[in-house]
Amino acid sequence: MTQRWKIIVEYEGTHYCGWQMQDIPQPSVQETIEKAIEKFSQQQVRLHVAGRTDSGVHAYGQIAHFDFINKHNMGGYDLCKAINAHLRPHPIALLHAEQVDENFHARYSAKNKLYIYRIVTRSAPLTTDAGRAWHMHRTLDSAAMHEAAQILRGTHDFTTFRASECQAKSPIRDISDIKVIEKPYDDYGGQDIRIYVEGQAFLHHMVRNIAGSLAYVGLGKWSNETLKNALESCDRTQGGPTAPPDGLYLARIDYK
Amino acid sequence: MTQRWKIIVEYEGTHYCGWQMQDIPQPSVQETIEKAIEKFSQQQVRLHVAGRTDSGVHAYGQIAHFDFINKHNMGGYDLCKAINAHLRPHPIALLHAEQVDENFHARYSAKNKLYIYRIVTRSAPLTTDAGRAWHMHRTLDSAAMHEAAQILRGTHDFTTFRASECQAKSPIRDISDIKVIEKPYDDYGGQDIRIYVEGQAFLHHMVRNIAGSLAYVGLGKWSNETLKNALESCDRTQGGPTAPPDGLYLARIDYK
């Protein structure tokens, strides 16, 4: 009998075309996991994901579900272990697997998502964190970024922060929480800045476009007023630049 | 006129044969930096390093010095920038450069070194931290590791923790500080354990051999008594396994 399984997935997205298959030579995270499941179970499964991520974007807590026949009546721990063994040496790992009700849907049942956007500022290039953060050379005013970010909290038309190729029907989204936290990156004044953005759903490139605009605030290029006007203009050309995928992490997805 | 410069270097050591040139195809960190300096200055320089690191070992605060003719009278900031530009895309970066007295020697003037050994425990393989920590599957008792580590503090004959190929004249070393600190790694019980070891100088593989022995304590395989007996035996075969290079970071070097 077919069972529905929910999995929590972590990945380093640098060398993938994103979650979904694209018309480029790099593999997708999705097909890589589907192949691993097929190798261990001899079943072709289809993964349904909570949040598709773009090329170069990482995840600590991506959620997906799939249906399969659990011939050997495996538990979640063994299932993870078996699939992870077939995922090697890919930087993709299942952190958890559990059987769920057939009404569960990774995407449609999701109530809340947390994205973290990471910016590291320092003069020197990144080494251990290359590809894992947006590297900026100039120091940012993270307190100003946090204050400005509060303008975006709540329900708004986020057209200003929406990619032109975004296919969502409505540009209205609700940011339930947004904060900017700074820690020292090194002993030489480098900053490790993380933007936490929570909401039920996001538009395409929305978090990266918000990060790009908040970086403008941090650099002193934009005032709170500029950000407010940009949001209210509902015009993508009034928004800041799209921050690179390197800094974006899908950190957590909550269900009822 | 020749000037002596001190540089602080950060690197991700995974794809290098170590600091020093070896008879293997991978480049060394040293030659990579020397080539970058030559490209920018048209001068062949020789780097002298504080602590040679093995293949796969990382550094946040490696120190080296070199002599060169500062034709354009550059300051430290511009020198770093110029050399870093020629280091791209290597995961090696100069964090700081300063002119020093000609009596300064990166190795012989060093008063204290801090190494950090990082262990991540969880069932799933590592993704974003692959190559950057020792991945262990079983949970470790980090409080027991910290307590046992105190046996190693102070001046001892560290033959038990010395690689057979170590060329140091004396096996006597002084560990001025050692501690084990645990933080959560993820939401699923994973541990991020760091062993901090400080001293003026270390034997070859000494920190990795200590990390391997403390891991045995953390697993419950070894008691404090076992560790104490191993230390006192002055016999490498009584020591724990050599922990992999992935978890080792040369974090800081202090001078007078």
pLDDT tens-digit readout, B95-142 = 999 999 999 999 999 999 999 999 999 999 999 999 999 999 999 999
Mean pLDDT estimate for chain A: 96
Pair (A137, A226) in one structural domain:
yes
Within an 8 Å CB–CB cutoff, is residue B137 touching chain A?
Answer: no
Pair (A70, A127) in one structural domain:
no
pLDDT of residue A247: 98
Task: Answer yes or no: is A141 within a domain.
Answer: yes
For chains A and B, CB pairs below 8 A equal: 74
Q: CA A2, CA A70: separation in Å to the nearest integer? A: 7
Instruction: Determine the length of chain B.
Output: 256
Furthest-apart CA atoms within chain A: distance in Å: 61
Is the preceding omega at residue A89 within 30 degrees of 0, hence cis? yes
User: Shortest Cα distance from A187 to chain B (angstroms)?
Assistant: 9
Task: Give me the residue label for tokens 């204050």.
Answer: A147
Quote the number of domains for chain B: 2
Mean pLDDT estimate for chain B: 96
Q: CA A184, CA A143: separation in Å to the nearest integer? A: 14
The model's confidence at residue B25, banded by pLDDT at 50, 70 and 90, is confident
Closest CA to B172 of B195, B209, B201, B213: B201
Which of A77, A127, A186 faces B12 most closely, judged by CB atoms? A127
pLDDT at B52 over 90: yes
Closest CA to A116 of A249, A240, A3, A254: A249
Query: Which pLDDT tens digit goes with each residue over A202-212?
Result: 999 999 999 99
* Average of per-residue pLDDT across A155-179: 96
Pair (B27, B96) in one structural domain:
yes
Query: Which pLDDT tens digit goes with each residue over B161-201?
Result: 999 889 999 999 999 999 999 999 988 889 999 999 999 99
Task: Answer yes or no: is B144 within a domain.
Answer: yes
> CA distances (Å), A187 to each of A184, A192, A195, A237, B64, in order?
8, 12, 22, 38, 17
Report residue B64 CA to chain centroid gap: 13
Pick from A40, A72, A100: which residue ends a domain?
A100
Pair (A176, A61) in one structural domain:
no
Query: b/e string for A185-224 if b means 16 or more Cβ within 10 A?
Result: bbeeebbbbbbebbbebbbbbbbbbbbbbbbbbbbeebee
Put simply, the answer to whether A132 touches B127 (Cβ < 8 Å) is no
Report phi then psi at B245, rounded to 5.
Answer: -65, -25
pLDDT at B34 over 80: yes
Q: CA B226, CA B213: separation in Å to the nearest integer? A: 10
pLDDT at A51 over 80: yes
Task: Answer yes or no: is A105 within a domain.
Answer: no
Put simply, the answer to whether A125 touches B187 (Cβ < 8 Å) is no
* Bridging pattern class, strands A110-121 and A134-136: parallel
Closest CA to B156 of B139, B178, B138: B178
CATH number of the domain where residue A165 is located: 3.30.70.660
User: Shortest Cα distance from B171 to chain A (angstroms)?
Assistant: 32
pLDDT of residue B83: 97
Query: Which pLDDT tens digit goes with each residue over A4-48?
Result: 999 999 999 999 999 998 777 889 999 999 999 999 999 999 999
Pair (B219, B93) in one structural domain:
no
Q: CA A94, CA B123: separation in Å to the nearest integer? A: 10
Pick from B100, B130, B153: which residue ends a domain?
B100
Lowest mean pLDDT among A54-58, A121-125, A163-167, B240-244: A163-167
pLDDT at B23 over 80: no
Task: Answer yes or no: is B105 within a domain.
Answer: no
The model's confidence at residue B7, banded by pLDDT at 50, 70 and 90, is very high
pLDDT of residue B5: 98
Pair (B88, B150) in one structural domain:
no
DSSP H/E element including B7: strand B2-11
Report phi then psi at A174, rounded to 5.
Answer: -120, 115
Please spell the DSSP secondary structure of B123-187, one letter per residue.
SSPPSTTTTSSEEESS---HHHHHHHHGGG-EEEE-GGGS-TT---S--EEEEEEEEEEEEE-ST
Report phi then psi at B102, rounded to 5.
Answer: -70, -10
* Bridging pattern class, strands A58-69 and A2-11: antiparallel
Pick from A100, A119, A134: which residue ends a domain?
A100
Pair (B41, B123) in one structural domain:
no
On chain A, the residues whose CB falls within 8 A of the CB of B186 are 10, 60, 95
pLDDT of residue B22: 79
Pair (A43, A125) in one structural domain:
no
* Bridge partner residues of A99 (DSSP): A5
Q: Is B54 a catalytic residue?
A: yes
pLDDT of residue A52: 93
Q: Which domain holds residue B73?
A: 2-100
pLDDT of residue A212: 98
Residue A78 makes CB contacts below 8 A (sequence gap 6+) with none
Mark which residues 71-90 of B lie under 8 Å from A by CB: 77, 80-81, 84, 87-88
pLDDT of residue A24: 79
Closest CA to B214 of B156, B155, B136: B136
Put simply, the answer to whether B84 touches A128 (Cβ < 8 Å) is no
